[in-house]
Amino acid sequence: MYNLQFFLLLFFWTSISFSQEYIEIRTINFIGNKKTKEHVIRNELSFTEGDTIVLSNVDEFIDRNEKILESIGLFNDVKVSIQNQKASKADVLISLNENWYLYPAPILEFADRNFNVWWQEQGRSIDRLNYGGRLRHYNLTGNKDPALLVFQFGYTRKFEFEYGVPYLNEEKNLGFYTSIFYSDNREIPYKTEGNKSLFYKHEDERIMLKRYRASVRLSYRPEPQKHHSLSLEFHRNSVDDFVIDELNPDYFLGGTNSLKFFMINYDVQYDQRINYLYPFKGYRLFLNTKKEGLGIFKEQNSLLLKGGGEFFYEFIEDFGVGTKLIGRTNLVRTQQAFANNTGLGWSDDIVTGYDLYVMDGIDYFLAQNHIKKRLVDFDFNWPEMMPDQFESMNVKLFLRINFDFAYVNEPSYIDTNDLNNRWIYGYGPAIDLILYNSFLFSFEYSFNDIGEQGFFVNTRNSF
């Protein structure tokens, strides 16, 4: 009796297995990658020769891999197609339109944290602009190796060099990066009051702040979705004596006018997002550990732990939701130098409607939530006089509704900073425009829980 049941179950399972028609990938072919090496593209794909695809999942398979390749910043347009299908085997053709990799560009940018601070808080002063030259290459030898050279003047004088080799070994999973950086300013944000930075510039226009940084970094990517990064950095920052004597004696703590330290930084993430610049599906988990001060100079001591996740779900075609959860804590609970005590508002970690504020603190929690709808998705063809990389411009337009909330814990620098040590929230609609699958422009009208509202502009790219 039991033997009969076993054979019936085996027969039923086998029937279902064979009823699922599939194709086996025989070869993968590439056209259009004039600069980019083939192994770079293969390293991003979710498949290789010999893998099988269930026929009913072919459309999803094509869409997923097109979006992955579009989002890495190397290609303007990607088309994946199944060809030469015979019996249960077929070839995959990947057609690519490469991006413009070399950007020798003049620098004319805002020195403030974002456009909105410059426009609304700093009176659109041209004295707060940076100018100069930037030579950036995103694919120097065709191996997705980035190089950067910066000569900048204006509000912040800056000199910077970066280069990376993402594929050191035959397995193409180990990379090495190095950078060196110097900057100085004649004006300094010396204190935070009312959750806004206070600035000072001496009448003789002396240099108030100098920063120097050198780093080396190893990356390890055993699978396309898994990323590890370990870096060693040296920092040396200094301010004019006037800052310590007259403005903020805790700028570096202890009444000293300089701070130097080594830092070890470790990142790990598991990334299953379909599009990195503007995800509609998938998720990402991440964890960062940063040890500032290794006991050599005994001037800085912090151990920062930051982690979280991003989750995206498409309910129906072109309509989805997303949430990003982030938590950070400093395991060293002693008072930190003002200059090293940043929290929300200094990067993408920001609450909708609070673009003009900073919430410094040793711990914080942030939840960014949205609903979005794709409105437009088409290719615009420029006249033939344009370079090949720019002839076809993909244009995407989205409507997004945000609701964010956060809490920042700060035991030391609390005088007048009433947004710390309490829950805050913000919400509002936004329009997102994506060009060439690489450049994101966001236009938001936001409200916050202290009764303010306003129009804000933000930009990002996938490089």
Report the distance separating Cα 437 and Cα 98, nearest Å.
11
Average pLDDT for 207-221: 95
**pLDDT > 70: percent of the chain:** 90
- How many CB atoms sit inside 10 A of residue 131's CB? 13
Report the distance separating Cα 362 and Cα 410, nearest Å.
6
Question: Which tokens go with 227?
Answer: 């990323």
Cβ-based neighbours of 82, under 8 Å, separated by 6 or more: 23, 58, 62, 90, 91, 92
pLDDT over 60 (residue 313): yes
Closest CA to 226 of 191, 270, 279, 186: 270
Closest CA to 234 of 207, 272, 263, 196: 263
- Catalogue all structural domains in the chain, each as residue range(s) with its CATH number: 2-98 (3.10.20.310), 102-154+190-211+273-461 (no CATH)
Report the distance separating Cα 387 and Cα 142, nearest Å.
19
**Residue 101: what pLDDT?**
64
127 phi and psi, to 5 degrees? Answer: -70, -15
Cβ-based neighbours of 453, under 8 Å, separated by 6 or more: 353, 428, 445, 446, 447
- Are 76 and 52 in contact by the 8 Å Cβ rule? The answer is no
pLDDT over 90 (residue 238): yes
Closest CA to 109 of 155, 43, 159, 177: 155
Mean pLDDT for the chain overall: 86
pTM score: 0.74
**Residue 38: what pLDDT?**
84
**Residue 388: what pLDDT?**
66
Report the distance separating Cα 244 and Cα 251, nearest Å.
7
pLDDT over 80 (residue 97): yes
Report the distance separating Cα 344 and Cα 236, nearest Å.
23
**Residue 248: what pLDDT?**
94
Average pLDDT for 15-35: 75
Task: Show contacts of 247-255: CB within 8 Å, 24+ apart.
Answer: 247/188, 247/190, 247/191, 247/200, 248/190, 248/191, 248/338, 250/335, 250/337, 250/338, 251/190, 251/337, 251/338, 251/339, 252/299, 252/337, 252/338, 252/339, 253/335, 253/336, 253/337, 253/338
Average pLDDT for 28-51: 85
- How many CB atoms sit inside 10 A of residue 400's CB? 18
pLDDT over 60 (residue 326): yes
Q: Which residue has the tokens 């086996």?
A: 24
Q: What angle do CA 8, 11, 16 make, to 5 degrees?
A: 125
**Residue 372: what pLDDT?**
96
**Residue 140: what pLDDT?**
73
Closest CA to 239 of 212, 284, 204, 209: 209
* Residue of 120 and 260 predicted with greater confidence: 260
Average pLDDT for 446-459: 90
Confidence of residue 64 (pLDDT cuts 50, 70, 90): confident
**Residue 18: what pLDDT?**
44
Average pLDDT for 121-135: 76
pLDDT over 90 (residue 389): no
Confidence of residue 393 (pLDDT cuts 50, 70, 90): confident
Report the distance separating Cα 202 and Cα 191, nearest Å.
15
Average pLDDT for 386-396: 76
* Residue of 216 and 130 predicted with greater confidence: 216
**Residue 276: what pLDDT?**
79
